[in-house]
Structure 1
Amino acid sequence: NDKVQSLSYAHHTRQLISCGADGGIVVWNMDVERQETPEWLDSDSCQKCDQPFFWNFKQMWDSKKIGLRQHHCRKCGKAVCGKCSSKRSSIPLMGFEFEVRVCDSCHESITDEERAPTATFHDSKHNIVHVHFDATRGWLLTSGTDKVIKLWDMTPVVS
């Protein structure tokens, strides 16, 4: 869930392999039909509770309230405050395999089926900087910041 360092694509299975600085190896199923993420909406106040954001001096003065930080719901795109977006959820069909901020009403609407992962996650136990996938053998070669080269049999995962 850290910064992606290297990518490799398995053409024969239509899977993308990403490796991160945290040692994570993620195998993405590219056949899954994903939804486009919404555009983030602009607003001077929370689109759920109408509390002003910190740059909205007029509304802060009129309501005698301190402004809040603006966040965006990754599911609906609305501009919301922290109180109205206190939940996090994965939304794999939108490309969010890891939990992201969502507004409370969207969190309630996301089903367990919608949270089902479309990728598999593996721990390499070293910080990967480069990866190469040999599709003919099903081998994944990783090299890390620890100067260790590892060879993985990926046939159980990429097939």
Structure 2
Amino acid sequence: MEELAHQSRVMMILFVLEMEWVLSTGQDKHFTWHCSESGQRLGGYRTSAGACGLQFDVETRHVFVGDHSGQVTILKLEQESCSLVTTFKGHTGGVTALCWDPIQRVLFSGSSDHSIIMWDIGGRKGTAIELQGHNDKVQSLSYAHHTRQLISCGADGGIVVWNMDVERQETPEWLDSDSCQKCDQPFFWNFKQMWDSKKIGLRQHHCRKCGKAVCGKCSSKRSSIPLMGFEFEVRVCDSCHESITDEERAPTATFHDSKHNIVHVHFDATRGWLLTSGTDKVIKVGARSLL
């Protein structure tokens, strides 16, 4: 077999047994695929930045490529052709890991911005659910189909097991405003209102529950909102804080400290084993009790 045609470091590689294909992404901003038997290059696609995340759906022949710009690209592969299906972006940092659930038709993307986004590709036409449970970049994802649990690992050494068998809510878009949408005090760039009211402008914040633009005084409270993916406490406006019940604060994820910087995770459902490898050159085997 001939070498894969990348001009710099290969970041991810997949072997598709059903098609006898080898798929690969690299820092050279290219996705390529080859025939695994002959080594013949079947095609390629140039991404917007160095690509690292890679997943493939056998049924639709869709390949998912995540890159360092935070973009996810979906391509349709034929025997010797490739076509762009769509692109989408929700991360403020680069995509560092992808995980595909072919049953629910959901794609998970992890990022250097510490977040995970669940993209509903097949069912709800682009619904995106954000998950916040790491204090450093997310480096690897795995999915346990039989229990509908997502396993995420990061540079913070944390292993987070997310219950995906709950009805989660999309995070709202942040609204734009020149003044606080609760008390109408001007923000610091609103010179006209500051002059008219003879008041110093305030710093703008956003409530994570309703998305409204608010000042610090009107958003002095914090709360976890697990069904919106916020397992840690985040800023919310005072009225939203009062509306959040204890049931809504109930966690939907469990947290475990692996005590090493994890770069890859694999879950073996038949044995209930969780394998992690880290930058410390150590491979660890986790017990069934994690799930």
Global fold match (TM > 0.5): yes
- Cα deviation digits, residues 41-96 of structure 1 (max 9, x gap): 21100011111112111111222222222111111111101121111111111121
Higher strand share: 2
Task: Tell me the distance in 1 between the aligned counterparts of 2:217 and 2:279.
Answer: 40
- Cα deviation digits, residues 105-129 of structure 1 (max 9, x gap): 1111111111000111111111112
What's the offset of the Cα at 1:37?
Answer: 2.1
Report the 3-state secondary structure (helix = DSSP H, G, I; strand = E; otherwise coil) of the residue aligned with 1:112: coil
Task: Tell me the distance in 2 between the aligned counterparts of 1:84 and 1:39.
Answer: 19
How many residues are matched? 153
Larger radius of gyration: 2
Task: Tell me the distance in 2 between the aligned counterparts of 1:86 and 1:126.
Answer: 35
Task: Tell me the distance in 2 between the aligned counterparts of 1:79 and 1:142.
Answer: 41
Specify which structure has the bigger relative contact order, considering alpha-carbon pairs within 8 angstroms and separated by 6 or more residues.
1
RMSD: 1.4
What's the offset of the Cα at 1:145?
Answer: 2.0
Task: Tell me the distance in 1 between the aligned counterparts of 2:237 and 2:203.
Answer: 14
What's the offset of the Cα at 1:131?
Answer: 1.0
Higher helix share: 1
What's the offset of the Cα at 1:39?
Answer: 2.4
Task: Tell me the distance in 2 between the aligned counterparts of 1:67 and 1:129.
Answer: 45
Report the 3-state secondary structure (helix = DSSP H, G, I; strand = E; otherwise coil) of the residue aligned with 1:7: strand
Which piece of structure 1 moves more, 31-40 or 111-120?
31-40
Task: Provide the residue aligned with 2:210 in structure 1.
Answer: 76
Task: Provide the residue aligned with 1:104 in structure 2.
Answer: 238
TM-score, L = length of structure 1 = 0.90
For structure 2, list consecutive stretches of 5 or more residues without a partner in the other structure: 1-134
Identity %: 98
Task: Tell me the distance in 2 between the aligned counterparts of 1:59 and 1:68.
Answer: 11
- Cα deviation digits, residues 6-65 of structure 1 (max 9, x gap): 110011111100011111111111110112222222110001111111211111122222
Task: Provide the residue aligned with 1:39 in structure 2.
Answer: 173
TM-score, L = length of structure 2 = 0.50
For structure 1, list consecutive stretches of 5 or more residues without a partner in the other structure: 152-157
Task: Provide the residue aligned with 1:87 in structure 2.
Answer: 221
